A = this chain, B = another copy of it.
Amino acid sequence: MGNFLAIDIGGTRFRVAHFDPEGRLLQVKHGETLHSGGRDWMLTQLREYAAELTGKNRAAIQSCGISFGGPVDFKRQRVTSVHTPGWKNFALTEWARGIFGVPCLVDNDANCGALGEYRFGAGQGVESMIYLTLSTGIGSGIICHGHLHRGRDSMAGEIGHLPLTDSEEVCTCGLKSGCTEALASGRAMGRKVQEFAKRYPSESARLLALAGGEAQNLSARELAKAAQEGDTAAISLFMESMRWLARALLIAIRLLDPDKIVLGGGVAQAGDFLVQSLKKALQEWWSPMFPYTTEIILAKLADYSPLYGAAALAMEAGR
C-alpha cells in the first residue's frame, strides 16, 4: 500500500502533502498563490511540488485528493469557479489522474474542511456536524450519518448565502438579500472597520495603531484583536457581525441540530474570543422550547483542515 497525495489549492496559499496509509501527515510543502499566474502556473507548481515530495518519500502514491478554494461540481468532478481565471469547467481530477497516474477526487475547501475535521480532527465520532470556514467569504460543509452531505447540485452548505435580513447590502453572489457573507465575513468586517476608522478617527485610535496608522490596512484580524483588548468601538463593530453570524448558526441549529459546529478559516484565528462572542450573541434567541446542546468549538487542525480532508478524499478515491 502506497501513500496518499493531498493537495489544497487556496486563494492565498497552496499545499501539497504526503499522508501515510493510516492518514498521518508525512510531509507538506507550502507555496503562495500567484494570482496573475492563473491556472497553468498553479498546475506547474503542483506538479513540481508533488515530484519533489515523491522523490523524498520513496513509497509510491496510491491515490490523490484535492481541496479547491471555490465551487466544485462533485458529481461531474469539475471546478465551476468563475472568479479565478482559467478554472471554469476545468476537469481537475482528469488532469491529476494524467499527471500522477492514480485515481483522484476533488471537492471544494469547505467540504474538505468538514471531511478533515470529521476524520482526523474535532469532529471524530459525531453523528452530524457543520464545519464553518470563516474567511474572506463564508462556507460550510455538513456531515450527516457518516457522510459528507453534498446535495443534489453539489451546493449544500452555502451558509454564507442565507438570506438573513431585508438589508440592501449587495453580496458577492449578486443578490441584495442580506447574505451572511455580506454581513459577517472577513471581507465584510474589514470593510466596516475601514469605513468606521475613516469616519471616526478619534474613536479608532487603538484600531489605527494596530494597523500602522492606516485605515485601509484594517481587517477582521485587527478588529477582533482590538475587541478582545476591550476597545469599545471595536467591540461594538465586532459584535454586530457576530450577531449576524449567530443568526446563521441558529438557523443551522434549528434545521440540523448537529452534535458540533466546528469553526475554521482565517477569522477563527481569533480563537476562544470568537467562540465566546458567538455564544453570547446566540443567547439572544434562547428559548426553553428549543434547548439545543450543539457544541460550538474551534477546528482542531486549524488551517490544515482542508488538507486533511483532501487526504480523506484520496482514501475514498483509492477504494
Chain A residues with a Cβ under 8 A of chain B: 71, 82, 127-128, 142, 144-147, 149-159, 161-163, 165-166, 173-175, 177, 247, 250-259, 285, 287-294
CB distance from A146 to the nearest CB of B (A): 8
Bound CA span A291–B259, Å:
29
Pick the contact of A163: B250, B291, B294 (CB < 8 A).
B250
Contact in complex: B292, A152 (CB < 8 Å): yes
Given contacts A144-B145, A151-B256, 4 further A-B contacts (CB under 8 A): A144-B144, A155-B257, A158-B290, A162-B255
CB distance from A143 to the nearest CB of B (A): 10
Contact in complex: A255, B255 (CB < 8 Å): yes
Report chain B residues within 8 Å CB of A174: 287-289
Bound CA span A161–B159, Å:
17
Report chain B residues within 8 Å CB of A289: 71, 82, 161, 173-174
CB distance from A265 to the nearest CB of B (A): 18
What are the 10 A-B residue pairs with the smallest beta carbon separation, nearest first? A151-B257, A156-B257, A155-B257, A144-B144, A158-B254, A145-B147, A173-B289, A152-B259, A162-B251, A173-B287
Name which residue of chain B comes closest to A140, CB basis. B255
Report chain B residues within 8 Å CB of A256: 142, 149, 151, 156, 255
Bound CA span A147–B143, Å:
13
Pick the contact of A254: B144, B147, B162, B291 (CB < 8 A).
B162
Q: Can you name 29 A-B residue pairings with CB atoms under 8 Å?
A: A82-B289, A128-B149, A128-B151, A142-B255, A142-B256, A144-B147, A150-B257, A151-B256, A151-B258, A152-B259, A152-B294, A153-B294, A156-B257, A157-B255, A158-B257, A161-B254, A161-B287, A161-B290, A162-B251, A163-B250, A163-B251, A163-B285, A173-B287, A173-B290, A174-B288, A175-B287, A177-B285, A251-B255, A255-B255
Between A158, A258, A259, the greatest number of chain B beta carbons within 10 A of the residue's beta carbon is seen for A158
CB distance from A183 to the nearest CB of B (A): 13
Name which residue of chain B comes closest to A146, CB basis. B145
Name which residue of chain B comes closest to A291, CB basis. B153
Bound CA span A144–B130, Å:
14
Report chain B residues within 8 Å CB of A159: 254-255
CB distance from A314 to the nearest CB of B (A): 21
Bound CA span A251–B161, Å:
8
CB distance from A213 to the nearest CB of B (A): 37
Report chain B residues within 8 Å CB of A173: 287, 289-290
Take A166-B165, A174-B287, A287-B173 as given contacts and tell me if A153 and B251 are in contact as well, using a CB distance cutoff of 8 Å. Answer: no
CB distance from A156 to the nearest CB of B (A): 4
Report chain B residues within 8 Å CB of A291: 153
Take A162-B251, A251-B251, A285-B175 as given contacts and tell me if A257 and B293 are in contact as well, using a CB distance cutoff of 8 Å. Answer: no
Name which residue of chain B comes closest to A147, CB basis. B145
Bound CA span A292–B154, Å:
9
